[in-house]
């Protein structure tokens, strides 16, 4: 059994954080994402990949589970190459498509580890206050993917009396019984079922159609208003040549073999504790679908010496997804095409061989069998995987009076999933259309809405034909992230910076509709100071290296303030405030050093209805040459006076926007406070020259003369500068409101600024990289970060990232030194030795029959108060001080995890040529070793390509610096 529980063979199903984050950067987050349209459940793939890229794994899982309640299962077994990955626009590039299934699995696995329950939509009334229709009894037959999906959505809609009847003693249907443990572990399906049960869905085992007299008629008599049939296709499609053959003779159907494998290898599935089927010698698997390849790879794990996968047509007609075929190929299965089974050869009552005839395709495309070409293959075991049917007459009788089609399956409307009986719905394999788990999930999802419409119609309530299914919710979604600052109430701390995302009124409107908490208008001036921009003027940065597309680490712009008039902006402010009274709208204004101008413009904005003003004293290019922006913001006296003029002119709050292009930004912040400002914005862009081409011309280059000027750099490349500015002002002016901007591209980055003393957060470059929809990710991410702080069991997590396990390629590995007493690297012949040792260890564990038992489900609950935004503002300031505050007696040294090390030698190279020569590199094994010379500088950790392979641990011996020559005098203490 341990072979199944420990071998996670599918490469896409295991990855570490670094590999995952690297893949998310490649995703283009396309405008009209074809990957989403290629997904049967219509997953918002662009959005969940955005959340993963921002390390908001809860936000990604929420997005996934909202559309697909079996999101983890589908992430592991979905035929993505035929669906979402097949539609990826990156197929047209050198990089190739995104591994969407692997990303989906990663996010949902991290959420699974959070161990947080699903809850009903916060918008629903309590169950006891729901209308009578929502107490209607609903039955679902079979606990497979279609039923689990349907029940989940019905429960999210508010129905409280939902029962699933399952004739087996386990749930999950074919996903549980016919997909092996190494592809789909039991605890994955159990996790998704537990989320469903969190909503009150009941499951009754050992009861189903034709069991103890249950029929559609008896269900109706028992008061069930609607029924969903999701029983799958329980009987194998057995070829006539196999009639009479039994398992003890060496013959299995996939319906015999895979459930035996599952029950033996999936701890918790049943209480039988049965052994794996005893397979030996040569195995022939008949079929070319996913099930056939599951049989083949499982047969190897059950002891088969050789496995042949035999199919009637050629390789181009294989129905299995490429991933499954490649897995079987990697595991040394043999493929034999163009063979049709004719006869099973028995000797002493046991299978010893099979005879086949050759198949060929004629010029008309028809397949014919050539009886003159006979092939005989020796075999000890034959496994038939020729599909499934519904042939049990008792079950068919129990389904009366619904009508059946010519394939012997219930007639189902593909749109509503209704059968010939309006109160009976069906989906999954028994519906006759779904061929995969994800398609079965979508059948259940689709049926849930039309079951909802049907039930509501019984009570005289009309429901739209356009589905409006509730999303996935947990207690995280109840966390309040509103914040109050300077007398203003912000629904969330994220807003548009005064930049390109706020270029027009319509853009701000769309941002508010998307969920942004506030917006600062593009800076506008009096008509006498109106500007006209040049082009090109906004270019990608070079700080991220050769990265093209979204995810730029920086931008450089030479764009000036708004080209629109003050009258336009004042009218826009009035209209926006009328339509969005609960959103904060801040008017950004700029004038030269002239009291009358500042007075006039600030009063215009106040009269228009702006909630507050932002005084742009910091534009680093163009405007300074006109005596505006930077020209005013670098002098504390000018800042103080401008703030005094505005304070005398208006009653609404105002904030001075500071420039980082000064020696001491704190002095400017103090001047703004002394002038009466209610707070400051820190900071504007950093002045810079982005780059020069090989022919010495700049970019951006304007006009025929190819001229440029110093522009403003933005993006996460300037985040350290902005964090320094925010924390320095917060330390100098405790309690003084700060609007942070400069590299805020995720909830995690936003939390850093809140910890540094900011109250609200302005965003620009991240929107330039994508669009307004990132606000959903920021809000769910911040809620999750706050909520997880209250969970004691997750104290070793870094935000939403779990502690890193010892792994190779994301798969957990034992310590070789513990198994054989010496160290081994991970390349060349050493890698083969490692594989052999690990395999022997697994066989040893298997012999010990260490059966795993699933722990009783118990959700993590907050044991500490969930912090509000105000509780985290400035929390990091206690750790920031002068260099003299730092301790030079408590030293650390590097510790390398040799099992995670990939033997690249980067730590040795940087230490040798840029550090303290404290790492030795074995020329034969390539294993690095840290010596006593380590000074704890941390360069090695900084360049190591494997997350947490190197850790800094406390030094156990006194640190004695190497002075080169003896000291002439003793240092002062």
Determine the Cα–Cα distance for residues 279 and 842; give it in Å rounded to an integer: 19
- Give me 191's structure tokens: 């996790």
Element (H, E) at 205: strand 202-205
Of 212, 644, 253, 634, residue with least CA distance to 394: 212
The answer to whether 706 and 699 are in contact (CB under 8 A) is: no
Of 604, 598, 615, residue with least CA distance to 653: 615
570 in catalytic set: no
Determine the Cα–Cα distance for residues 455 and 688; give it in Å rounded to an integer: 64
DSSP assignment letter at 206: S
Of 137, 156, 140, residue with least CA distance to 148: 140
Of 114, 29, 36, 31, residue with least CA distance to 80: 36
Q: In DSSP terms, which residues pair with 739 in a beta bridge?
A: 681, 760
Ramachandran area for residue 16 (φ above 0: left; ψ -120 to 50: alpha; else beta):
beta
Q: In DSSP terms, which residues pair with 588 in a beta bridge?
A: 614
Determine the Cα–Cα distance for residues 824 and 839; give it in Å rounded to an integer: 15
H-helix segments, 470-552: 505-514
The answer to whether 928 and 919 are in contact (CB under 8 A) is: yes
- Give me 840's structure tokens: 């022997």
The answer to whether 649 and 603 are in contact (CB under 8 A) is: yes
**Sign of the alpha-carbon torsion through 619, 624, 625, 627:** positive
The answer to whether 60 and 51 are in contact (CB under 8 A) is: yes
Task: Catalytic residue, from 35, 270, 619, 643: name it.
Answer: 619
Q: What value does the CA radius of gyration of the chain take, rounded to a whole number of Å?
A: 33
The gap between the terminal CA atoms of the chain, to the nearest Å, is: 64
745-751-754 Cα angle (round to 5): 115
In the sheet that holds 367-378, the strands lie side by side as 339-347, 350-361, 367-378
Determine the Cα–Cα distance for residues 528 and 474; give it in Å rounded to an integer: 54
Q: Which residues have CB under 8 Å from 686's CB, separation 6+? A: 620, 660, 661, 712, 713, 714, 718, 721
Q: Which residues have CB under 8 Å from 756's CB, separation 6+? A: 723, 726, 727, 730, 740, 874, 876, 877
Q: Which residues have CB under 8 Å from 749's CB, separation 6+? A: 716, 719, 743
Ramachandran area for residue 557 (φ above 0: left; ψ -120 to 50: alpha; else beta):
beta
The count of other CB atoms within 10 Å of the CB of residue 283 is 28
Element (H, E) at 667: helix 665-674
Residues taking part in catalysis: 619
């Amino acid at each position: 059994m341990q072979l199944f529980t420990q071998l996670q063979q599918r490469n896409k199903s295991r990855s570490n954080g670094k590999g995952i984050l690297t893949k998310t950067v490649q995703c283009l987050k396309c405008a009209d994402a074809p990957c989403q349209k290629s997904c049967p459940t219509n997953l918002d793939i662009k959005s969940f990949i955005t959340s993963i890229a921002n390390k908001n794994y809860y936000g990604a899982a929420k997005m996934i589970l909202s559309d697909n309640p079996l999101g983890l299962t589908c992430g592991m077994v979905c035929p993505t190459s035929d669906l979402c990955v097949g539609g990826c626009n990156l197929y047209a590039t050198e990089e190739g498509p995104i591994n969407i299934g692997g990303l989906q699995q990663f996010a949902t696995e991290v959420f699974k580890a959070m161990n947080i329950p699903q809850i009903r939509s916060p918008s629903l009334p309590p169950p006891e206050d729901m209308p009578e229709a929502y107490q209607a009894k609903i039955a679902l037959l079979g606990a497979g993917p279609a039923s689990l999906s349907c029940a989940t959505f019905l429960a999210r809609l508010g129905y409280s009396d939902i029962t699933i009847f399952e004739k087996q003693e386990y749930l999950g249907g074919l996903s549980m019984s016919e997909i092996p443990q190494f592809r789909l572990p039991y605890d994955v399906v159990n996790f998704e079922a537990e989320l469903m049960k969190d909503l009150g869905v009941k499951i009754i085992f050992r009861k189903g159609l034709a069991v103890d007299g249950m029929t559609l008629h008896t269900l109706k008599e028992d008061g069930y208003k609607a029924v969903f049939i999701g029983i799958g296709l329980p009987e194998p499609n057995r070829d006539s040549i196999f009639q009479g053959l039994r398992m003890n003779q060496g013959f299995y159907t996939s319906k015999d073999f895979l459930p035996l494998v599952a029950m033996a290898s999936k701890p918790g599935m049943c209480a039988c504790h049965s052994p794996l089927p005893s397979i030996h010698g040569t195995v022939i698997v008949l079929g070319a679908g996913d099930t056939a390849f599951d049989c083949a790879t499982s047969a190897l794990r059950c002891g088969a010496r050789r496995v042949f996968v035999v199919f009637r047509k050629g390789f181009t007609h294989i129905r299995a997804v490429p991933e499954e075929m490649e897995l079987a190929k990697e595991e040394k299965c043999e493929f034999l095409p163009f063979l049709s089974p004719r006869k099973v050869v028995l000797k002493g009552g046991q299978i010893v061989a099979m005879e086949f005839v050759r198949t060929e395709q004629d010029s008309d495309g028809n397949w014919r069998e050539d009886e003159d070409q006979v092939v005989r293959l020796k075999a000890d075991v034959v496994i038939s995987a020729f599909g499934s049917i519904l042939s049990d007459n008792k079950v068919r009788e129990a389904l009366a009076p619904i009508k059946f089609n010519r394939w012997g399956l219930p007639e189902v409307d593909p749109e509503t999933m209704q059968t010939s009986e309006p109160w009976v719905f069906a989906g999954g394999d028994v519906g006759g259309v779904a061929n995969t788990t994800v398609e079965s999930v979508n059948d259940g999802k689709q049926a849930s809405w039309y079951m909802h419409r049907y039930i509501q119609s019984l009570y005289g309530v009309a429901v739209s034909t356009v589905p409006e299914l509730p999303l996935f919710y947990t207690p995280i979604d109840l966390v309040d992230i509103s914040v109050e600052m300077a007398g203003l109430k912000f629904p969330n701390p994220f807003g548009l910076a005064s930049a390109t995302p706020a270029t027009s009124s319509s853009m701000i409107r769309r941002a508010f509709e998307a969920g942004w908490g506030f917006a600062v208008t593009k800076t506008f001036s009096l008509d006498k100071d109106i500007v006209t921009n040049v082009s090109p003027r906004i270019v990608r940065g070079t700080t991220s290296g050769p990265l093209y597309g979204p995810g730029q680490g920086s931008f450089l712009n030479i764009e000036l303030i708004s080209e629109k008039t003050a009258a336009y902006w004042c009218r826009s402010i009035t209209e926006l405030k009328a339509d969005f009274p609960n959103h904060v709208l801040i008017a950004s204004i700029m004038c030269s050093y002239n009291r009358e101008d500042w007075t006039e413009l600030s009063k215009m904005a106040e009269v228009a209805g702006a909630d507050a003003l932002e005084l742009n004293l910091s534009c680093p290019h163009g405007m300074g040459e006109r005596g505006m922006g930077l020209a005013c913001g670098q002098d504390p006296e000018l800042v103080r006076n401008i703030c005094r003029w505005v304070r005398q002119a208006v009653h609404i709050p105002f904030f001075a926007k500071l420039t980082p292009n000064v020696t001491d930004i704190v002095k400017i912040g103090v001047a703004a406070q002394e002038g009466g400002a209610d707070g400051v914005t820190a900071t504007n862009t950093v002045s810079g020259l982005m780059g020069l081409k090989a022919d010495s011309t700049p970019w951006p280059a304007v006009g025929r003369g190819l001229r440029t000027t110093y522009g403003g750099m933005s993006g996460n490349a300037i985040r350290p500068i902005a964090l320094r500015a925010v924390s320095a002002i917060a330390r100098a002016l405790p309690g003084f409101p700060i609007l942070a901007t400069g590299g805020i591209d995720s909830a995690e980055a936003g939390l850093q600024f809140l910890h540094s003393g900011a109250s609200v957060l302005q965003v620009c470059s991240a929107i330039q990289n994508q669009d307004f929809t990132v606000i959903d990710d920021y809000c769910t991410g911040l809620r999750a970060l706050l909520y997880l702080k209250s969970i004691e069991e997750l104290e070793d997590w870094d935000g939403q990232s779990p502690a890193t396990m010892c792994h190779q390629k994301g798969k957990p590995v034992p310590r070789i030194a513990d198994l054989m007493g010496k160290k081994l690297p991970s390349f060349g012949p050493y890698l083969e030795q490692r594989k052999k040792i690990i395999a022997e260890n697994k066989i040893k564990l298997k012999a010990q029959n260490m059966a795993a038992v699933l722990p009783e489900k118990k959700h993590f609950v907050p044991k500490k108060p969930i912090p509000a935004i105000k509780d985290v503002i400035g929390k990091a300031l206690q750790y920031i001080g002068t260099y003299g505050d730092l301790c030079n007696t408590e030293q650390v040294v590097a510790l390398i995890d040799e099992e995670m090390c990939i033997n690249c030698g980067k730590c040795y190279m940087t230490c040798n040529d840029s550090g303290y020569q404290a790492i030795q590199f074995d020329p034969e094994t390539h294993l690095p070793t840290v010596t006593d010379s380590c000074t704890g500088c941390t360069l090695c950790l900084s360049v190591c390509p494997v997350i947490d392979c190197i850790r800094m641990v406390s030094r156990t011996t006194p640190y004695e610096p190497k002075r080169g020559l003896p000291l002439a005098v003793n240092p002062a203490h």
